[in-house]
Chains A and B, each alone.
Chain A
C-alpha cells in the first residue's frame, strides 16, 4: 500500500539553529500535505500545509517545501527554540481524501 515515511526518527539541534525535517511520500496522487506538531502529552496540532500546485509555503518561522518530482516534503524551522521540541508528523492525502501519516520525527532542541 501507499505509505508516508520520514528519513530521520530523531533530530537534535542547538537553540538558534535552523532545523530541517524531511518526509518522503510514495502516493503520486497525493495533492495535499500537512505538517503537525505533537508536544508531549498533547494531541497533534496543525503547523502548516501545502497543496500540490505549490512548491513552497512560508509561515511564521516555518517553511514547507514540496518536491513532487522526487516525492519529498520538508519542514524548515528557523531559529529553533526549546519550545519547538516535539514530534513532527507529515501527512498526505490524495484521491481518497483520507490522510496518511508518517511515523514522526522527534526534534530535540538543546539550550
Chain B
C-alpha cells in the first residue's frame, strides 16, 4: 500500500531534550516536506526536499533541522525543543511537480 509513515504518533517531551520525528514513504517520491498545523493557522511548511541531499527552508524553519540521505526517509529534528514548537506535524511526499501530496497521519508533539 502506498503510504507516508510518521513516527511517533504522539510525543511528550521537555524543553531542550533533542528529538527526531521520522518520516518514510514507499512511493519512490522525489519531493518530501514537513508541515506544522496550529489552530487558526492552517498548514505551514517547515522544510522541504526536492531530492536526495537537497533540502530547503519553508516558511517556518527556525528551531528545526532535516536531512535527506535516502530518497525514502526525511526525518525532522528538533535539537532543543521549546514550548512554542508544541504542534501537530505532518510529513508529505509527492512524485512529479504539480501533483497531489500524500500526507502521513501526523505527530502530535507537546513540549513542556
Contact = CB atoms under 8 A, between A and B. Distances in A.
Interface of A: 31-32, 34, 36, 41-46, 49, 51, 89, 91, 93, 97-99, 101-104
Contacts of B103: 36, 43-45
B106 interface: yes
Chain B interface: which size bin?
20 to 34
Give me the 3 closest cross-chain CB pairs, A-B, nearest first. Answer: A43-B103, A103-B42, A32-B98
Contacts of A43: 4, 90, 92, 103-106
B25 to A, nearest CB: 12
Contacts, number: 44
A98 B43 contact: no
Contacts of A46: 100-102
B41 A103 contact: yes
